[in-house]
Structure 1
Amino acid sequence: MSKPSVVSAVAEDTPCCPPMTQARIAPEVSSSLAQAFKALGDPIRLQLMSMIASAPDGEICVCDLTPAFTISGTTISHHLKVLREAGLVDAERRASWVYYRPRPGLMRQLSALLAVDEPVTA
């Protein structure tokens, strides 16, 4: 049984919360966003996410992702599934290939949560 997507708990088009340096995170939001952070906590998934997010056309074929690693295609598929379940990427099958694109709304929420304002110096 697959885990529920982060997006179901935190809408991508609305800010989730102020930076954690300004306010405490609500429990229901923290558990949802933790799934995305956990997915990015693996070095392979972080590299995959970087490749997907920086793809020139806004998406990338799994056929271009797999050769970049020395692990099996099955393992790559598992890591991509984790990123999908966390709500970080969308996937679309076209013929025999799957294309991945980032979900920028969730990436913005994670970034906003970690934002730290520079202290004002006099």
Structure 2
Amino acid sequence: MSNVEVQPLTESGTGEIVAPCCPPLTERPMSAEEASVAAPMFKALGDPVRLRLFSAVASHEGSEACVCDISDVGVSQPTVSHHLKKLKEAGLLTSERRGTWVYYRVAPSVMASMAQSFAAFGS
């Protein structure tokens, strides 16, 4: 067992306490249910284009970006749309259509939850 003290997670900007997807990896083995929640997220981020798109959204001002601002990742627009769809299906992004553009945002608690999973490795 780890001696790392787990702090409550808070959502950036709102300060709202959120539940992590899974415990820190060094705390205890994941249950089958926890692994089934976390695995699709990590699988989706295992593709370099998806990781770049997720990073582009997460690092954009307000953690929200128009598809027109993040589509320059070296693949066609239909491929960008496919990858963004996969990130949404994995629960990593949410989207909202505004006029002709779609805006993507990192899903609530995703960054804090993923960071929590790996927090003990930085100690």
Q: TM-score, normalised by structure 1?
A: 0.80
Which of the residues 20, 42, 56 maps onto 1:51?
56
State the match for 1:20 in structure 2: 25
Cα deviation digits, residues 26-71 of structure 1 (max 9, x gap): 11110111000000000000000110001113311101111x2221
Distance 1:17 1:32, change over 3 A: closer
Query: Whole-Å Cα distance in 2 between the matches of residues 79 and 39 of structure 1?
Result: 9
Query: Whole-Å Cα distance in 2 between the matches of residues 57 and 111 of structure 1?
Result: 18
RMSD, aligned α-carbons: 1.6
State the match for 1:62 in structure 2: 67
Q: Is 1:92 aligned to residue 57 of structure 2?
A: no
Percent sequence identity over aligned pairs: 47
Cα deviation digits, residues 49-101 of structure 1 (max 9, x gap): 110001113311101111x2221100000000000001111100011110001
State the match for 1:107 in structure 2: 111
Query: Whole-Å Cα distance in 1 between the matches of residues 105 and 21 of structure 2?
Result: 21
Distance 1:114 1:96, change over 3 A: same
List structure 1 runs of 4+ shifted beyond 3 angstroms: none
Gaps of 5+ in 2: 1-16
The DSSP-based 3-state class of the residue aligned with 1:116 is: helix
Count how many residue pairs are aligned between Structure 1 and Structure 2: 106
Gaps of 5+ in 1: 1-11
Query: Whole-Å Cα distance in 2 between the matches of residues 113 and 58 of structure 1?
Result: 20
